[in-house]
Amino acid sequence: MRLSRYFLPILKETPREAEIVSHRLMLRAGMIRQQGAGSFSWLPLGKRVLDKVCQIVREEQNRAGALEILMPTIQSADLWRESGRYDDYGKEMLRIKDRHERDMLFGPTNEEMVTEIFRSYVKSYKDLPLNLYHIQWKFRDEVRPRFGVMRSREFLMKDAYSFDLDYEGAKAAYNRMFVSYLRTFTRMGLKAIPMRADTGPIGGDLSHEFIILADTGESQVFCDREFLELSVPGEDTDFANDAEIGGIVKQWTTPYAATEEMHDEAAWGALPEAERLSARGIEVGHIFHFGEKYSKPMGAKVAGPDGKDHFVSMGSYGIGPSRLIAAIIEASHDENGIIWPEAVAPFDVALINMKAGDAECDRACDELYRELSAAGHDVLYDDTDQRPGGKFASADLIGLPWQVIIGPRGVAVGEAEIKRRRSGERFTAPLAEVARRLSDLSA
């Protein structure tokens, strides 16, 4: 993409309303624009990141056997009356009346609707296990939305719902999502640590929050340093093998890990001091087993192998891709701007023409742009007539993994300068070798 044809409204000044670094950087880098309280448009650069994040989430949901659907944003109030949540939900639910004065709402979550879908079609245990997910905009009318897309009112959520005959099946489904989440966050360059979360009246131990460590995190977390060394299951993980998946979950739930809410001073104190890691964290995912909470009131049941009807045992599994992007930035930035992990970077390479209009520089850049694109790199080519200083600052701010810098002196000797955004390291390479070098380095 040529920057001269792109829409990248970089802000020179730091927006005053932004309290946290991810919000500031997303505004400054032209990723988002605020449209109202807790409501944002995703501008081209932000939309590209959102797509990349969603695609990773989707691939890992599919790998774990979940099936993608898409439910509408607007729901009927009657459905929520069946579960009893219409009255319970409180003011966070955006309630709406249509032209016929029918009660509707903008879905803050979809347990009721997905349970309605399930009960309409599935009648036998033979059609289980089943896990349906969607990636859809939700609305929660927070009293005081803030922190940009980290806590907005309209936000994107991937929510998956599992249906099983019994607790054993539900636990296996829960474990698959657990492992899927480990892979999802790792692919985005994040270290996510599963921490036991409160199960409230449901009880049991099947509720985990996935927390990433970031100095600017919203809450205090406590865990064993061992987590930093645990290996994340690979692509060849067999999600059909309950024992294998259960083993991974066991490994990842054995060392101590707790949010402030669930923190146990005694267990923490029993850890050798050198093992203790106390840090700030940001919740990026939550998985939860809730059994018959919805299936019972809503009559979602299947015939079991015993010929009798059983209410299905359910769980739900959430990741907020819009929030996650802010979390990634909280975890990966410096004073000059964002540092994108390669897998979610909006482009791979910033190709910077230091002297646009200079015939030699233009020629070298045009050729590199073609070559890099042909080699499969997504390139943002700064062909504008801005000064080099401004171009460098913008490239650092938007945080693409690589910068390829073309100036008159380099072109004269057939060389480009390559800068790795994360480390700041720089080296030169012959123009003809830039594409290959980047491919090697990104591999």
Q: Report the alpha-carbon distance of residue 285 to residue 82 in Å, rounded.
A: 27
- The distance of Cα 417 from the centroid of its chain, to the nearest Å, equals 33
> 364: burial class by Cβ within 10 Å (0-12, 13-18, 19+)?
buried
Q: Which is nearer to its own copies, 68 or 198 (CB)?
A: 68
Sheet of 426-430, strands arranged across: 379-382, 349-353, 402-406, 415-420, 426-430
CB of 152 to its own copies, least distance (A): 9
Measured CA distances, 238 to 78, 162, 246, 252 (Å): 40, 18, 11, 17
CB of 232 to its own copies, least distance (A): 25
Q: Which is nearer to its own copies, 65 or 247 (CB)?
A: 65
Q: Which is nearer to its own copies, 141 or 358 (CB)?
A: 141
- Spatial neighbors of 52 by CB under 8 A, at least 6 apart, are 343, 344, 345, 346
Q: Which is nearer to its own copies, 18 or 213 (CB)?
A: 18
Q: Which is nearer to its own copies, 104 or 202 (CB)?
A: 104
CB of 211 to its own copies, least distance (A): 27
CB of 111 to its own copies, least distance (A): 14
Q: Which is nearer to its own copies, 139 or 222 (CB)?
A: 139
Q: Which is nearer to its own copies, 44 or 388 (CB)?
A: 44
Which tokens in the block code for residue 227? 């987590």
Q: Tokens 């992007």 identify what position? A: 325
CB of 47 to its own copies, least distance (A): 5
By the criterion CB under 8 A, which residues form the site for its own copies? 5-7, 9, 30, 33, 35-37, 39-44, 47, 50, 65, 67-76, 91, 94, 96, 98-99, 102, 104, 106, 113, 116-117, 120-122, 130, 132, 137, 139, 141, 143, 153-154
Looking at 254-387, list the stretches that DSSP marks H as alpha helix, in order from N- to C-terminal side.
Answer: 265-270, 295-298, 321-331, 359-374
CB of 94 to its own copies, least distance (A): 7
> Going by DSSP bridges, is the β-strand pair 349-353/402-406 parallel, antiparallel, or unpaired?
parallel
CB of 178 to its own copies, least distance (A): 20
CB of 204 to its own copies, least distance (A): 27
- φ and ψ at residue 241, rounded to 5 degrees: -100, 100
CB of 273 to its own copies, least distance (A): 47
- Gyration radius of the chain's alpha carbons: 24
Q: Which is nearer to its own copies, 33 or 191 (CB)?
A: 33
- Long-range contacts of range 28-34, CB-CB < 8 Å, 24 or more positions apart? 28/337, 28/397, 29/337, 29/338, 29/397, 29/398, 29/399, 30/398, 32/148, 32/149, 34/148
Q: Which is nearer to its own copies, 130 or 221 (CB)?
A: 130
**For the packed helices 44-63 and 167-187, what is the interaxial angle rounded to 10 degrees?**
140
Q: Which is nearer to its own copies, 79 or 395 (CB)?
A: 79
CB of 380 to its own copies, least distance (A): 12
- Spatial neighbors of 10 by CB under 8 A, at least 6 apart, are 28, 29, 30, 394, 397, 398
Q: Report the alpha-carbon distance of residue 91 to residue 113 in Å, rounded.
A: 20
Which tokens in the block code for residue 59? 């691939």
Q: Report the alpha-carbon distance of residue 21 to residue 362 in Å, rounded.
A: 36
